[in-house]
Amino acid sequence: MSKTRRPRIGLIVPPADGRVPDDAQILYGDRIDFVARGLGIGGVSPAGFAPVVDRIVSLAVELRDDGAEAVSLMGTSISFYRGAALTEQLRAEMTAATGLPCTTMSHAVVAAMKALGVRRVAVATSYIEELNQRLVAYLVDEGFIVTAIEGLSVVAVREVAEVPAETLVRLGESVVRRDPSAEAVFVSCGGLLTHGVIEPLEAMLGLPAIASSPAGFWDVLQLAGVDPSALGFGRLFRAPYSSAGGRTKLALAASVA
């Protein structure tokens, strides 16, 4: 009996080693075949992005040639730092060059918040203040209200993955407590390890918690027509999936259970 073919998903990741992020295995085990290419950013800052940002489209083409059925740029700040218009232009260029469905982690976050019915969001990041302000501008352009934002000022790529879950939980709680009108908390930076963060925040705050890397996987799988449901990453991943229109449409109440 032949094995069922696994969907093959292409990821463009910021680190030079081009390793598939750990969240892939935690979320989906062996259900999905992920393949990645690395950008090699020099740091989590505009100066670190500038030398490599023009490689994104060519890496998307490499992933297509490696059999990917959909491609995502799995970096949040490198996809939003030039503004909403250029973020959308980048996605359009990736799509045109590859002929595949393409997305970015910034598009993923927007889709996740809209799917959960969120408009007012508190934001916790790993970023320096310059990137925090660019993120606020991006989210405002996409129709959201940022109730509070605070970052950890981490620039080194390696150090992002070393931020403890406890630090992120405290930061997420802090930004929500600063303005109780927040409807969700967003933990921004694809390099942060958030498996032990999302569900504790949701339980503590009674609000949806969204994080960059999980949202990126959720988004690109839907784009490829694959059910993104999984356990351990909060309300977003427990919500019913529908392939109609290529993206799940959720009511927040349906994702609380």
Q: Is the model's pLDDT at 1 over the cut of 80?
A: no
CATH number of the CATH domain containing 58: 3.40.50.12500
- In 3D space, the residue among 53, 219, 79 whose CA is nearest the CA of residue 139 turns out to be 79
- Domain count of the fold of the chain: 2
Does residue 203 sit in the same domain as residue 217? no
244 in a structural domain: no
How confident is the model over 30-66, as pLDDT tens digits? 999 999 999 999 999 999 999 999 999 999 999 999 9
Does residue 119 sit in the same domain as residue 155? yes
pTM of the predicted model over 0.85: yes
pLDDT band at 251 (very low <50, low <70, confident <90, very high): very low
pLDDT of amino acid 3? 61
Helix axes 84-98, 56-65, angle to 10 degrees: 30
Domain span including residue 90: 8-105+213-233
How confident is the model over 180-227, as pLDDT tens digits? 999 999 999 999 999 999 999 999 999 999 999 999 999 999 999 999
3 in a structural domain: no
pLDDT of amino acid 149? 98
Alpha helix segments (H runs only) across the chain:
22-28, 46-49, 56-65, 77-80, 84-98, 105-115, 129-141, 157-160, 165-177, 198-205, 212-223, 235-238
How confident is the model over 61-108, as pLDDT tens digits? 999 999 999 999 999 999 999 999 999 999 999 999 999 999 999 999
pLDDT of amino acid 40? 96
Does residue 118 sit in the same domain as residue 190? yes
Does residue 75 sit in the same domain as residue 130? no
Does residue 200 sit in the same domain as residue 220? no
Q: Is the model's pLDDT at 253 over the cut of 70?
A: no
% the chain with pLDDT above 90:
89
Does residue 116 sit in the same domain as residue 197? yes
246 in a structural domain: no
How confident is the model over 141-159, as pLDDT tens digits? 999 999 999 999 999 999 9
> What is the DSSP pairing of strand 8-13 with strand 70-73?
parallel
Does residue 81 sit in the same domain as residue 17? yes
